[in-house]
Amino acid sequence: MVRAQNIKEDCLLSCDWGTSSFRLRLVDIRNGKIAGIISTRHGVSFINEKHKQCTASDRYAAYLTYLQRSIDRLSVKIRNNCTGVPVVISGMASSSIGLKELPYAHLPFSLSGSGITSTWIKSGKKIRHDILLISGVKIGNDVMRGEETQLIGLTDLVPYSHRKRIFILPGTHSKHVIVYKNSLRHFSTFLTGEVFAILRRYSVLRFSVEEPQSEITNAQRQLFLRGVLKSRHTDVLQNLFQVRQYDLTREFSKADNYYFLSGLLIGAELKTLAGAKHGIVLCCEGLMHDLYRSALECLDLMQHTYLVPSHVMTSAVVQGHIKIFKKSRINFSCG
């Protein structure tokens, strides 16, 4: 538990506000320890959809209101008053549908935290906290918001950012990021997670796929790898209907098909790395870590791959927020 008398001086509220999720943590900036966390599915798209018929100022107020209520909930949860603790927000909150739109930073982008585009929002009637809002990064027709903060945090936690590496950050919009000499040099976006969700919920495949209720079995892992290999040798669009076929013929269960479909899409994403000249750094946790690692092994890409430990990934956003906050507060006087 963070000591109440030092909470304002020693802590910050680390907020990762994505498209479909909201995470708020009270963090000790001296050691990065998390004193409490609240996580919901009230991402930016949820807030925006709920208030899209309102004026821009009303939507802005709605975001601040939701944030303040979440901070109050966190205070109750940890039995400590967070009033006055500054908030650092990354992710889609700085997008056109978020709290306040900010311009993107451009490449090359230093992962020291000094090149980030950000703005301070002063405390007021709707929010009793000063807010540091962080923007994303742009290259050509591709953008990211949130992953750059993870990478800023990872540079102190992963031993390979000084050499040229491809960082893989799986998610709704997976990113493949080239990092060299502590600088983000290039990246590409793959809609792997979003396409999976659309196919599973809205396409004809929704009748043939269901989320498993237990851990992956050896048979399901083999089916996942079959999907990876199919996408390696043929176009993913040629393979998708086989998910439906497996269900109609009762060859595999709907839960099994969940992993086959995952293999097809993850395989289609990772086959772009065939013949990669640089080492790979896999940055994810949980089931995604397991599946992406298995796919990389299947595609003979593990020899030069570094697996970021799950506990490191859990700390990445927090460490990024701390680094950015420490650099930004030099030019801002809170209170």
pLDDT of 3: 44
* Domain-located, residue 327: yes
* Domain-located, residue 48: yes
Amino acid at 298: C
**49 and 75 in a common domain:** yes
pLDDT of 29: 93
Burial of 6 (0-12, 13-18, 19+ CB in 10 A): exposed
Q: Which pTM does this prediction carry?
A: 0.88
Alpha-helical (H) ranges within 79-209 are: 147-154, 192-202
83-95: per-residue pLDDT in tens?
A: 899 999 999 999 9
* Domain-located, residue 178: no
pLDDT of 7: 63
Reply yes or no on whether the pLDDT at 115 is more than 90: no
- Residue 160 pLDDT grade (very low, low, confident, very high; cuts 50, 70, 90): low
**325 and 223 in a common domain:** no
Q: What is the mean pLDDT of the chain?
A: 91
Reply yes or no on whether the pLDDT at 22 is more than 50: yes
82 dihedral zone (left: phi>0; alpha: psi -120 to 50; beta): alpha
Cα 38 to chain centroid distance, Å, stands at 16
pLDDT of 12: 95
- Residue 121 pLDDT grade (very low, low, confident, very high; cuts 50, 70, 90): very high
310-334: per-residue pLDDT in tens?
A: 888 888 999 999 999 998 865 544 4
Smallest Cα–Cα separation from 169: which of 177, 161, 180, 158? 177
pLDDT of 114: 85
Q: Residue 4, SS3?
A: helix
What is the CB neighbour count within 10 angstroms for residue 3?
11
Amino acid at 29: I
194-203: per-residue pLDDT in tens?
A: 999 999 999 9
CATH number at residue 231: 3.30.420.310
Range of the domain at 101: 4-157+314-331
Smallest Cα–Cα separation from 184: which of 141, 138, 132? 138
The DSSP 8-state label assigned to residue 304 in this structure reads T
Reply yes or no on whether the pLDDT at 218 is more than 70: yes
